[in-house]
A = this chain, B = another copy of it.
Amino acid sequence: MARIDVVVDDVSLDAPTLVEGLPGVGLVGKIVADHLVSTFEMDYYAGVHCEGVPQAAVYRGERSSLRPPVRLHADEERDLLVLQSDVPVSPAEATEFAACITGWLDANDVTPLYLSGLPDQSEKVPEVYGVSTGGGERLLDDAGIVPPAEGGLVSGPTGALLYHAGRNDLDSVGLIAETNPQFPDPEAARAVIDGGVEPIVGIEVDTDALVDQAEEIQDARERLAKQMQQADDESSQAEPLRMFQ
């Protein structure tokens, strides 16, 4: 019964791009996804009922209608899908979750952009790097996104999504942004949008709000960190694999 249920029938997409926004290190993907859904006022498009999604009900302020905690939102004009999640996916079921998502993407001709933070303690402007499966490398080249200088490993649910994309030879891109390792990092999210999502998808996104809210977010960070990153050690992240040769 695990599957993705499209809940609208008046949205037509043509080989869309999907931006994945699962909560991982720095909440980079989640902040990006929430910002895109909000800024473009994207339509609620599908419920994601895959294994690993906690069965809970989400309500929004001022509206009574409930939604599932992991959803797809669509923007027909921009041929864009966003995977939005209000809960962490169970790391123990990441394999089944990734197989469920990957099968749907493949069947619906969707090109995914997976987002992962790369813990970095420096104060400099976060860099964004690109990795890829299938023919995704061409998308990175066209957008002028370079690979990481140093090798590494993407783990967690996002790592499983990239693993399945690779095994299925699905065209996909992974955007890896340097991020604060402990707290939500809107600067990293802005870098992903400006340096990755915009050039690949060919859209413009106003990210000023992200920066304006930085201070507010700073205040909220302890609460958020506790709320969203309980599965911290197993959450999605990239990490360097510095071997000696």
Contacts and interface: CB of A to CB of B under 8 A. Distances in A.
Nearest to A98: B55
A223 B241 contact: no
Contact of A163 (B68, B148, B223): B68
Contacts of A241: 58, 86, 227
A207 to B, nearest CB: 11
A152 interface: yes
Interface in A42-93: 47, 49, 54-69, 86-87
A19 interface: no
Contacts of A57: 131, 133, 153-154, 159, 162-163, 166, 174
A57 B86 CA distance: 24
Given A132-B65, A243-B34, A94 B55 contact: yes
A124 interface: no
Nearest to A59: B131
Interface string A163-207: 110110000001000000000101000000000000000000000
Nearest to A57: B162
A175 to B, nearest CB: 11
B209 A245 contact: yes
Interface string A208-227: 01000100110010010001
22 contacts: A5-B167, A35-B245, A49-B167, A54-B155, A55-B98, A55-B159, A56-B153, A58-B152, A58-B153, A59-B131, A59-B152, A61-B150, A62-B149, A64-B140, A65-B132, A65-B137, A68-B163, A68-B167, A86-B241, A186-B244, A209-B245, A220-B244
Q: Report the 6 A-B pairs with minimum CB-CB distance, sorted nearest first.
A: A57-B162, A56-B159, A64-B147, A55-B160, A55-B163, A60-B151
Given A57-B154, A58-B152, 17 more contacts: A5-B167, A47-B166, A49-B167, A55-B95, A55-B164, A57-B159, A57-B166, A58-B154, A61-B150, A61-B151, A62-B147, A64-B137, A65-B133, A66-B162, A67-B166, A68-B163, A69-B163
